[in-house]
Structure 1
């Protein structure tokens, strides 16, 4: 369960971005949107959903991209470039693309993430010297790294390495840790690699591989971040040549959505190829497999590729983060998915849904709390982005946002910002003048 994500000097976010899933104070109504998990005597609360609005190129995608970058850096355990280039988020593997390009001097890139997994509260912060924008050959280094579990410091790293009370992690420690604790501390302090995360290397090897596994498992399996929703492609877990695999749950959802065929399945044509989505179409010879992109609409294929991620989040209690979530999908289908995340009887594992959209149908006080509605705005002079929530406006005064207000109307009259007046008339007037066709 994600509680908070922070970053600074990441692409268009020169100042610190604080993306909070912690409910804002004094918010009333829609309590079914609040997730709760008790750790010890303290109950932690989180929002079950968040929706992000803003003009094109405002920086909405950079929020999701930053989450994906931190996820990739932690999993691989270092800040060197990877040969595997990501089409959806190149900055995850080419770190010279991260620093804000308008910075006049080299400025650290900061990340922080707070989440709950395995009934433990994890809080991890990272500050990196990545050089300047496009400085590919810069010798990068970790400036600082801190790790807290249940609000107790485990270690803090900057130019040196300091540890908190390690008695707290004894039950998660590696075999023989208690007997060799003193030598492990000395070895760890003397063998810090400036390009590697201590969490995923020294701490994992000499202190607690169990805690590190909890973190990496949550990042890999439950923190599902997709920077380009159109690149989602669901596949069966196994496949065999000439065998059609049909998922009954997905097909039931696809029929409700409105597929054209009798059913959808996955077919592997040879031993080396990936399974392909096919439509099963009735005819003289019964259900014949036809490539889905030939028979189904683009929206249907997008839905079928996205829906398994929704199911996975709800079944495992994952946090699903998707850019362009609403592309090619009918608002009523998306509304149903949102309502499922808000349904206490269905969302039993504390699943979360976070997505970007331009569809103002979700600006509805009966669907989202004010603290679930987020905005991103970009300054036209500095090209830097700012992030804020509807709950930041307060409830009183001329620009106050009250429960039950008309959020959509107020957004279009620019009461909340994060909207841009776009008029292409002058472009076409100039075009006609150039062609000598005006008047």
Structure 2
């Protein structure tokens, strides 16, 4: 699915709720109990709660998740499963201002036995809490893969710090590195592979090591290598993009990419999209949701 629009039309803000809800359902339990929820309300409703609702398929069933919250706490949260022609609740949680606690009900098959912990975790999703106690549906949702190049602040920039984190990622995931190298060689960018070196940035702290990454190229007189800050912006863009796409393609899930065509030649978009269209490279039906500026991308 593509979100097409001009600059400042709000494309990134269409993607942000999906990324936020995934984080909230999967990882909000990791917040400290008194930490604020990292949520930015709409600029014209800063004093109002924010509401999110999504329907999705999992294990051949249709589900509906809804949450209403502020930066301080969850006000309402529910999960429903579709049975025949209607949705029936799996759990429902509502904040009571009178009792300063939650009204919580759940179906027997949800099976959260430590429901009393919900009052103490006003900034965490019931699903994120339930996953800590082995509740089946919560664990499955927590393992659902979503990879994105946006965060709370917006689109991530391919600066030197980000490239360093990508180098560490490929260094720790050799299978993804081999796949990335094979694709870049197939796409004929003059790029042969990557090499890594372990370095000590600060001689006064020899225990703190970092991974330096180099692109290997085949020259007329033999191979040579370049530091990744010397690589073309297109090569760096593909290197960054594949770090998001390959894990989703391997496991299934969703890739959410802001400005897919950024720094890429138009001819490179087709092989990138083909990774999702091709059953061999996308055996688990991974999905791609992206923004773009150019209508040509949709052809």
Q: TM-score, normalised by structure 2?
A: 0.75
The within-5 A match list for 1:52-201 is: 52-74=3-25, 75-77=27-29, 81=35, 93=38, 95=39, 98-103=40-45, 106-117=47-58, 121-130=62-71, 140-149=72-81, 151-158=87-94, 159=96, 160-166=102-108, 168-169=109-110, 173=111, 187=116, 191=119, 193-201=121-129
Query: SS of the counterpart of 1:265?
Result: strand
Q: Deviations over 1:341-377 (max 9, x none)?
A: 223454321111111111221233xxxxxxxxxxxxx
The within-5 A match list for 1:256-275 is: 256-270=186-200, 272-275=208-211
Query: SS of the counterpart of 1:268?
Result: strand
Q: Deviations over 1:14-36 (max 9, x none)?
A: xxxxxxxxxxxxxxxxxxxxxxx
Shift of 1:192: 5.6
**Does the aligned pair in 2 maintain the 1:281–1:288 contact within 8 Å?**
yes
CA distance in 1, matches of 2:175, 2:209: 15
Q: Which residue of 1 aligns with 2:148?
A: 225
**Does the aligned pair in 2 maintain the 1:239–1:245 contact within 8 Å?**
no
Gaps of 5+ in 1: 1-49, 83-91, 131-139, 178-183, 365-439
CA distance in 2, matches of 1:300, 1:285: 22
**Does the aligned pair in 1 maintain the 2:28–2:123 contact within 8 Å?**
no
**Does the aligned pair in 1 maintain the 2:176–2:247 contact within 8 Å?**
no
Shift of 1:149: 4.1
CA distance in 2, matches of 1:281, 1:272: 29
What is the aligned length? 270
Shift of 1:54: 1.3
**Does the aligned pair in 1 maintain the 2:148–2:257 contact within 8 Å?**
yes
Q: 1:274 to 1:71 in 2, by over 3 A?
A: farther
Q: Is 1:209 aligned with 2:135? A: yes
CA distance in 1, matches of 2:298, 2:175: 39
The within-5 A match list for 1:282-321 is: 287-294=223-230, 296-321=231-256
Q: TM-score, normalised by structure 1?
A: 0.53
Shift of 1:255: 2.1
Query: SS of the counterpart of 1:307?
Result: helix
Q: 1:342 to 1:247 in 2, by over 3 A?
A: closer
Q: Deviations over 1:166-209 (max 9, x none)?
A: 1x34xxx47xx5xxxxxx66x468x46544433333x4566x53
Query: SS of the counterpart of 1:255?
Result: helix
Q: Deviations over 1:125-177 (max 9, x none)?
A: 110134xxxxxxxxx222101022454412111134343431x34xxx47xx5
Gaps of 5+ in 2: 97-101, 201-206
CA distance in 1, matches of 2:176, 2:279: 29
CA distance in 2, matches of 1:192, 1:235: 39
**Does the aligned pair in 2 maintain the 1:277–1:292 contact within 8 Å?**
yes
Q: Is 1:363 aligned with 2:298? A: yes
Shift of 1:60: 0.6
